[in-house]
Amino acid sequence: MSSSTKVSALDMPDVPMGQLPEHLHLQRTRVVCKADAPIHTEGIQYSGAYASIGVDNSLGPNKFCKNFKTEVVRLTEDEIEFDMVGIDASLANAFRRILIAEVPSMAIEKVLMVNNTSVIADEVLAHRLGLVPLNADPRLFEYLSENDTPNERNTIVYKMDVSCKKGGSRVTVKSDQLKWLPNGSELQMTTYDSSAKAKSYTSFSCSQDSMPEFSKKPLGVRFDDIILAKLGPGQVIELEAHAVKGMGKVHAKWSPVATAWYRMLPEVVILKEVKGDDAEKLVKKCPVGVFDIEDLGNGEKKAVVANSRTCTLCRECVRGVNEELVELRRVKDHFIFTIESTGAFSPEELFMKAVKILEEKCDRVISELS
């Protein structure tokens, strides 16, 4: 807070020392969303901003641990929604960026086209295959560098061989037609030396299905019904695909989340009582059911806030005459976080991995500083 806006305790005799007045508390903890634009969007980071009225604005580990909490609101096989309270937007964004870009996963990197007479070009089909989520745990694999040989520890091999008979009906090629080859590549490298022994594209010392970590769970695809192409009569797709371990910061196909996003907790406040027909109009203005009608008896009714969490900030309730009646706010330190997994990990596992990666980053910074 600049010196021109600093408030002295002498100017507010009714405010106890160590307590912020209501308007400053609102400015510090809420974003107020007006009909045209939000205000109070910047956080007040200066530790001595309210020193003149005895309020400590500093942040320390003990204070953070006391205020921070998480609560799971919704959890399914592929999606989780939870609240994170008591953190800054920068920290919430750090988790989002780590989930998208730094949690490793498996994805198809190399596609060897044997025959493709479909209408889809080779490079387009290869790109579509790269985006198919694989049912493979990346923790069981090693990274494949430029100098490494593809083997059972760093590569998964899939095969696709689909054709449409001449005179037959069109064939839909789906992801379930990618078949896992536990023994590695079945294709031989082209060589110009007739005396040289033909080599495979991979060098597996053993079959992957004989390894304990893979025997219980075949390395297939996560979803069987993803449409990859459609074949007309006489058309063929024959290929081999090699999947390796990578990160989303290299290519989006390695991102383990379909989406990871957050929003500040909405807070809808009715400043003045809205009764009668005005209450009905206010309820109808909101498309997501934030408001409801409360029966006061004797034929009277008023508008109340029923579920502010569902507010999408469409601002319909604050446009026109309602702007002085309703105020839309966002809580600055309360974030609704949503993670949707592509399937290799459960959504709660993904978040724990993001926390671990952030912890490792902090440890590196501390060690460098010391």
Pairing of strands 171-174, 79-85: unpaired
Is the pLDDT confidence value at 7 over 50? no
Rounded Cα gap, residues 201 and 187, in angstroms = 7
Q: Which residue has the tokens 């490298």?
A: 189
**Which pLDDT belongs to residue 311?**
94
DSSP per position, 128-157:
HHHTSPB---GGGS----TTSPP-TTT-EE
**Which pLDDT belongs to residue 59?**
81
Is the pLDDT confidence value at 17 over 80? no
How many Cβ atoms sit within 10 Å of the Cβ of residue 250? Answer: 13
**Which pLDDT belongs to residue 320?**
75
Q: With beta carbons less than 8 A apart as the criterion, state whether 108 and 228 touch.
A: no
DSSP per position, 161-189:
EEE--TTS--EEEEGGG-EE-TT----B-
Q: With beta carbons less than 8 A apart as the criterion, state whether 254 and 248 touch.
A: yes
**Alpha-carbon dihedral angle through residues 16, 17, 23, 27, given to the nearest 10 degrees:** -150
Per-residue pLDDT of 121-172, as tens digits, reads 999 999 999 999 999 999 999 999 988 999 999 999 999 999 999 988 999 9
Is the pLDDT confidence value at 193 over 80? no
Q: Which of 28-32, 323-327, 346-350, 364-368 has the lowest mean pLDDT?
A: 323-327
Longest dimension (CA), the chain: 101
Q: What is the DSSP letter of 64?
A: H
Q: Which residue has the tokens 């989780």?
A: 80
Distance separating the N- and C-terminal Cα atoms of the chain: 32
Average pLDDT in the 66-93 region? Answer: 94
Average pLDDT in the 93-111 region? Answer: 96
Rounded Cα gap, residues 348 and 241, in angstroms = 30
Domains of the chain (ranges; CATH) run 18-58 (no CATH), 105-253 (2.170.120.12)
- Cα 241 to the center of its chain, rounded Å: 27
Percent of the chain with pLDDT over 70: 92
For residue 70, what pLDDT band results from cuts at 50, 70 and 90? very high
Rounded Cα gap, residues 113 and 330, in angstroms = 52
Which of the pair, 82 or 188, is modelled with greater confidence? 82
Is the pLDDT confidence value at 95 over 80? yes
Is the pLDDT confidence value at 16 over 60? no
Percent of the chain with pLDDT over 90: 67
Is the pLDDT confidence value at 269 over 90? yes
Is the pLDDT confidence value at 3 over 50? no
- What value does the mean pLDDT of the chain take? 89
Which long-range contacts link 139-143 to residues 24+ away (Cβ below 8 Å)? 140/213, 140/214, 141/106, 141/244, 141/245, 142/245, 143/244, 143/245, 143/246
Cα-based distances in Å from 290 to 139, 150, 267, 284: 44, 56, 10, 10
Average pLDDT in the 206-218 region? Answer: 85
Average pLDDT in the 179-199 region? Answer: 79
**Alpha-carbon dihedral angle through residues 24, 25, 30, 34, given to the nearest 10 degrees:** -40
Sheet strand arrangement including 156-163: 105-116, 236-246, 156-163, 179-180
**Which pLDDT belongs to residue 10?**
40
Q: With beta carbons less than 8 A apart as the criterion, state whether 293 and 279 touch.
A: yes
From the list 10, 8, 55, the residue with the least C-alpha distance to 29 is 55
Rounded Cα gap, residues 359 and 353, in angstroms = 10
For residue 4, what pLDDT band results from cuts at 50, 70 and 90? very low
Per-residue pLDDT of 292-328, as tens digits, reads 999 988 889 999 999 999 999 998 888 876 678 899 9
